[in-house]
Amino acid sequence: MERRRIILGVSGATGFAYAVKALELLRELDVEIHMVLSGAAERTRREETDLTDEDIHEMADVVYPNADIGAAIASGSFQNLGMLVAPCSMRTLAVVASGATDNLLTRAADVALKERRRVVLMARETPLHLGHLRNMTAVTEMGGIIYPPVPAFYQLPQSLDAMVTHTVARALDLFGLNVKSLPRWTGSANKKPWASPQKKRALEVS
């Protein structure tokens, strides 16, 4: 494998911004992106962004129809770093947990698991019922990683984009991919204490 490859699955959970950010960061890292989107993901794109189908497809190196169960990424012989599903719906999680794959997205995740490659599912749902938790346990026992896109606040993000970027960059860490612009925790000795906007204004006035 001369150039690093990763499979990006995009399912229909809310949070299409995570898929867009993954595409942006992977392109910066010069990682070859093999992408598959579910039908529900296409709807989420329309609901949550102004991006067109063509806009998204142009950001990946290869895009596969979700019905193409014979695509390259459906085979374990296709070398890659693993698969990121961003975001991951509870349906996709359940299918991966059961092993009863029914489309290319879930087949690719199943193949990555059987080949002992890294599989990271950015599971997006709350609250969680027992079935969700059991599916997460099953995937974890198979060697996958459940990575809910929970924002971190210790870097004092100044925008929604900063929060999404940090979340996705940390997910890419799990594949050994280093996003150089990612702020990393170095200890609290030189950190200024957090203050609410109201407190900051009060301090400025005083």
Residues paired with residue 8 on neighbouring β-strands, in sequence order: 35, 84
What is the predicted pLDDT for the residue at 188?
72
Contact 109, 147 (CB under 8 A): no
Residue 64 pLDDT > 80: yes
How far CA 188 is from CA of 10, 155, 169, 193, in Å, comes to 36, 11, 21, 9
Tens of pLDDT along 97-109? 999 999 999 999 9
Query: 186 pLDDT band (50/70/90 cuts)?
Result: confident
What is the predicted pLDDT for the residue at 107?
98
Query: 1 pLDDT band (50/70/90 cuts)?
Result: low
What is the predicted pLDDT for the residue at 193?
53
Residue length of the chain: 206
Element (H, E) at 6: strand 5-10
CA distance 172 to 177: 5
What is the predicted pLDDT for the residue at 140?
98
Looking up residue 168, the CATH number of its domain turns out to be 3.40.50.1950
Q: What is the pTM of this model?
A: 0.90
Instruction: Give the residue-averaged pLDDT of 35-56.
Output: 97
Higher-pLDDT residue of 205 and 76 is 76
Query: Which structural domain, as residue segments, surrounds residue 68?
Result: 5-205
Tens of pLDDT along 13-24? 999 999 999 999
Mention every residue, 6+ apart, whose C-beta is less than 8 A from residue 176. Answer: 81
Instruction: Give the residue-averaged pLDDT of 21-50.
Output: 97
What is the predicted pLDDT for the residue at 200?
55
Instruction: Give the residue-averaged pLDDT of 137-158.
Output: 95
Instruction: Give the residue-averaged pLDDT of 193-198.
Output: 57
Contact 124, 148 (CB under 8 A): yes
Q: How many domains would you assign to the chain? A: 1
Give residue 162's identity as a one-letter amino acid code.
Answer: A
Higher-pLDDT residue of 198 and 111 is 111
Query: 2 pLDDT band (50/70/90 cuts)?
Result: confident
Residue 96 pLDDT > 70: yes
Instruction: Give the residue-averaged pLDDT of 47-69.
Output: 97
What is the predicted pLDDT for the residue at 174?
98
CA distance 92 to 132: 11
